[in-house]
Structure 1
Amino acid sequence: MGKIIAIANQKGGVGKTTTSINLAASLGVLEKKVLLIDADPQANATSGIGIDVESVEVGTYQLLEHSNSAKDAIIKTSTPNLDIIPAHIDLVAIEIELVDKESREYMLKSALKDIKDDYDYILIDCAPSLGLLTLNALTAGDSVMIPIQCEYFALEGLGKLLNTIKSVQKVHNPELDIEGLLLTMYDSRLRLSNQVVEEVQKHFNDMVFKTIIQRNVRLSEAPSYGESIINYDASSKGANNYLSLAKEVINKNS
């Protein structure tokens, strides 16, 4: 039985897509069967794993529209054990198109029913907003992982996200759990980074992953080559961080 984890935070630039791609690749390397779903109209997870966004004919948009099945949309990647359901810029229109549909929050959940058991983990890279796309991901998910960057405004907006999660639990998905808070873009030389880590750990103690994702040049270079950090530079600090996170996720769910 696969576990669906939505990777969400309505703030942009906190490392959602970086985490989605590299956690998915790390779980794949650790011999778990993984599906990555790009649910962001920017389609960065799609291009970041080496797929030409322009060539995408069937992806998340068709899935949410129910014009194609999930099986139609799956593409194999060059990373071991990792498949992707890609996104295309047309995903921008889905929020408007679903607005008057019945059960619009459940479109993704019902689309994934047929394939949930084919994977150990299904990771959803969410858009940086709390709109209908993210709502679909949270309704479909078993849990949500929240990346938080170690910067000044880190905790701003977190309350809003946690409230959204609470209302999703109440109305659409009582089973939704918080997988954990993931600290990203950590720079040990900065006092601020260390303060944010302390603050988050103090407020949320057990909810915070032990693994902290450090700032790493190789990590930010990898997507421009259409590769995960595991393929791009397996010996880098970034690769070690994400492998460590993957092990933590596996241990938590075993």
Structure 2
Amino acid sequence: MSRIIAIANQKGGVGKTTTTVNLAAGLARAGRRVLLIDLDPQGNATTGSGIDKRSATPGVLEVLTGEARLTQARRAASGGYDAVPANADLTAAKVILFQLDRREYRLRDALAPVAGDYDYILIDCPPALDMLTVNALIAAGSVLIPMQCEYYALEGLSDLLDTIADIATRANPALHVEGVLRSMFDPRSRLARDVSEQLQSHFGERLYRTVIPRNVRLAEAPSHGLPVFDYDRNCVGSTAFLTLAGEMLRRHTSTAAA
């Protein structure tokens, strides 16, 4: 059975999509079967996976509305994983879903038939705690939270943790925090170091040891429709995401053995 992980943070610009695409590619490079679900109307994970979002039909919108099965919408991505694409049409889902039965469970229901096909299913969430994110949190077993080490990121983190706790209470008892990932990290910043220490104190082992640095190659790779490994395998961004994939796999191996 697959591990379903939502990559979520309602604050934009913290590296959610970069994390989703490159973690998917890193896990695929480690021999795992991976599916990426792009649940963000911006469709950046779709573009970063080498898929033209302008012609991405059927996509995740059709899957959520029941117009297409997930097996009809998934396609091969450049990073060695499968992806269900999104584009601006997904914005309509915020209205359409409210008119449908089981509106909060549409993604979970759609994933059920393919869960055995993958070791990991990663869901790139939009930068909002809306119905799309709720669908992701109900479908997922855990949440990976990328965040920058800055003051406002800490403020928003408490709202996300409250939402996760609420979803776990009323709809998905298995939901938990997979881990917190420090992204776009600049070790020269005193504030970044201070916030990093606060995260370590609060989250302990749930804070990933791997730190994703600010890296120009990470920012450039999506415009070429490639994960960073295929764009520049020797850059620090590549090293960081390979390390993150390895750390996640070791955690899960350890948990399974316990």
Equivalent in the alignment of 1:74: 74
Equivalent in the alignment of 2:98: 99
Q: Deviations over 1:126-148 (max 9, x none)?
A: 00000000000000001100011
Identity among equivalent pairs (%): 49
Q: Deviations over 1:27-61 (max 9, x none)?
A: 01111110010000000000111111111111110
Structure 2: distance between partners of 1:90 and 1:220: 25
- Counterpart of 1:26 in structure 2: which amino acid? G
CA RMSD of aligned residues (A): 0.9
Structure 2: distance between partners of 1:77 and 1:106: 26
TM superposition shift of 1:191? 1.2
Structure 2: distance between partners of 1:114 and 1:25: 23
- Counterpart contact for 1:154–1:196, Cα < 8 Å: no
Alignment of 1:132 onto 2:131 = yes
Superposition TM-score, scaled by structure 2 size: 0.96
Q: Deviations over 1:96-141 (max 9, x none)?
A: 1111322111000000001011001000000000000000000000
- Counterpart of 1:51 in structure 2: which amino acid? I
Alignment of 1:153 onto 2:156 = no
Equivalent in the alignment of 1:12: 12
Structure 1: distance between partners of 2:179 and 2:22: 16
Q: Deviations over 1:8-34 (max 9, x none)?
A: 000000100000000000001111110
Alignment of 1:88 onto 2:87 = yes
Unaligned runs of 5+ in 1: none
Structure 1: distance between partners of 2:202 and 2:175: 21
Equivalent in the alignment of 2:37: 37
More displaced, 151-160 or 120-129? 151-160
Q: Deviations over 1:211-231 (max 9, x none)?
A: 111111111111111111011
Unaligned runs of 5+ in 2: 254-258
- Counterpart contact for 2:14–2:146, Cα < 8 Å: yes
- Counterpart contact for 2:24–2:79, Cα < 8 Å: no
Deviation >6 Å, runs of 4+: none
Structure 1: distance between partners of 2:186 and 2:74: 36
Equivalent in the alignment of 1:232: 231
Whichever structure has more helix as a proportion of its residues is 2
Structure 2: distance between partners of 1:90 and 1:151: 33
